[in-house]
Structure 1
Amino acid sequence: MRDPLNDSYYIASAGECAADAPLMSDIKADICIIGGGFTGLSAAVACAEAGFDVVLLESEQIGFAASGRNGGQMIPGFNMAATDLIKLVGEDVGQQLCHLAMSARDRVHARIERHNIDCDLQHGHIHLAAKKNDFAYLEDEVAFSDRLLGVGEAVLVAPTDIDRYVNVSGYHGGVYVPKGGHLHPLKYARGLKRAAKSAGARIFEGSRAASITEGEKVVVRTISGSVTARYVFLACDAETGDLAPKAGRYTMPVLNYIIATEPLGEERARALIPSNAAVSDSKFVLNYFRLSADNRLLFAGGEKYTPKPPEDIAAFVRPYMLKLFPQLLDTRIDYAWGGTVGITVNRLPHIGREGNKLFAHGYSGQGVLLTTLVGEVLAEMLKGDSRNFNLFEKIPHRAFPGGKLLRTPTYVAGMLYSAMMDRL
């Protein structure tokens, strides 16, 4: 029987991958990383390369959660305009954070090249303005980006030029970022796994962390073993709250769903997205889509506010696809799946430490690039250079109101309001 959340194009196209054995003993390490997604894997690679003894625990299989089932969109920067970020943290810190976030793209490309990761890498991302006011906002942001980051990082796209990039109607212009792009996320995660193991990291799959005991050293226990380490790094994103309730209050798990069409053929696929760029729009409940290496359209859209997935994910998402691409009316949907995204109130990643317990989560849809950056920043900090880690800690965050029981209904109310404003 096909699992409605795991009927993923990525699993079907990534090929076989042998799982590592679970932890079955009591061991020691310099750092214990919990979570086998992009954040944990990138941290494992960087820390092992820096000479640390690294153990990574993954409750399922590498790339099982968001890192192996997301849209694969490589969107440079944060999920907040640079102008708004500078208003939030000040000009000096804001500029440093913008430059640091933009470096994530080059870091990911360097990892792919250095470790020879075959992950269907493509260049270019376009963000479309759903409203006229959104385009005016994007104009200001591009002008600001040119001053801050240099001309060419982002290119303003007039409404009449959208079809050079993507063949859709109803949008009011956009911004094209040549240094954006897209990749096959599960292939990238598995490539990072190989790189981490080659660098000396020990990886245990099927090893859910059950508890963390803090002290001079931390002890992470699973059902069949334990890791005693100088540091523990929580790289669990939406699952952080289970092990660190205080930090977990700052993120909210949100379900997201994606469909993959049958192969369209190169000519028909490029008629949809001539640039082969990744595409997203400015709606609060956004649409985002791209082409796969075998010329399928991978499309995500729509909103759902309960933890239970739709009975038919394909039927749920397909109307949003057809609204933009009515020419796909007779196209078969081959795969439909879902997953959880961790978001913060301000849509900026929440990164910090509580003693020798470190955490990073809440990438809010920008995790394909930022996670590799964060893993490397963690290794820098452990080696004694905490400048970049400290920058992330300067971002002010608010916990979701209402505690564990009331966080979800409070968030749902906000999402419903924002979805209504999209429609208006």
Structure 2
Amino acid sequence: MGNDNSNPKALFRLIGLATVIVFLIINNEKFTSHNHPNNRRTSVDMGNGNCKWTPPKYEGFEDIKFFKTVIAGFPSGDKRLTFVQLEALTENPTKDEWDFKHLGMSNHPFIKANYPHHEGIWGWEDAGDQVIMVVRNIKRAMVEYHDILWDIGYAKTWEEAFALVPNLYRERPPLEDFLAWRDERVFDEIDWYGWFIDYYMEGGLMRDMITNKITTPEHWNMLMIPNGHKFEDLQYDVVVGADTHVEPSYDPNCALITNGCAPVKVISAERLADPVKGPAVGLEIAAAVDDKEGMNVISPEARNCIWGELIIRKKGMKTFLDRGGYEEHDYSFTKGHLEKMVKELDRLIQKYSNVPWTTNSNAQVLVDLFQEHRGLILEDLAEGRFRRIMKRKSSLTPDRFRELE
């Protein structure tokens, strides 16, 4: 591609642009329809727990009144694994947040979103009615986040990215490419990961992702466009003040969702893909839209079959499960990365294990997941499965991370 990645801030801007492009392309209606003709039927209940998978309808739903679901998650391929289940269960299609923004509003009942992460945008206006939040293991999320960027060669233009669409979810990048990005971005993205969880669990409460303190609308608006400011100018103490009393404020976008930003269900991407736990998670996804307006969910007897068609027999869109080449565990992190991941998971576990979250079923799911993820990272640390930051021409580690290597 001939990209000059020697400037960390330039690399960050390039990564942001590349991800915007890939999210636009992945769910572009014209591209999707070209690969999945519109004359297909919905998934068919064959009786006795059997089924036949077919893609969703891409036309003919414009006048149907839907109860619409936002599928939100940190950028890592997990949302696709979830929305393909919803599409197969209901025959209804999904549209990406960026497509709503750039291609216009439409009647799609499922909305894929990375917002408020810096790779996302609230493009669907007031179309949403409820939120399903999808969560991946923090370490695996970082790997797949980069994989998607690499798929399109960190493209700078729509044309460059579109030419590389066939590469999506086909294989994994060279280790060296991941390591360069890892050293540049992962320390910051660990903060964004936990902040993203808090945003939805707290119904859009405005917080600073570095300190986790409740922040002001002014500071929040700056955080929503991080590439437009120097890192030091975004600091909480600079914008808000260390000792300033801040009244809680909520993202006004959340008032546009009928039931607010707090999720009705938390879904684990790893458990959805698990041969033993997966069918039960698939049933949870179905239950989240069952009996909702416009949702013609396939019969309960056939729902496990739908899960098997997609996860075991790999029907439908490619997902991160289809990548060839390296395995996710081949992409290692530094000891500092792993320790910071554990620290962030400790914070989240402590928070959602205590009042006022003790009676919140989604909080308890999160605690269970984070304890599991934490245990896996501690195993990596105990077994020495990490490496040092390597100084590469393509990536210069920001000075503030030197002591964490």
Instruction: Return the TM-score normalized by structure 2.
Output: 0.28
Higher strand share: 1
Q: Whose RCO is larger (CA < 8 A, sep 6+)?
A: 1
- TM value normalised by structure 1: 0.27
Q: Which has the higher helix share?
A: 2
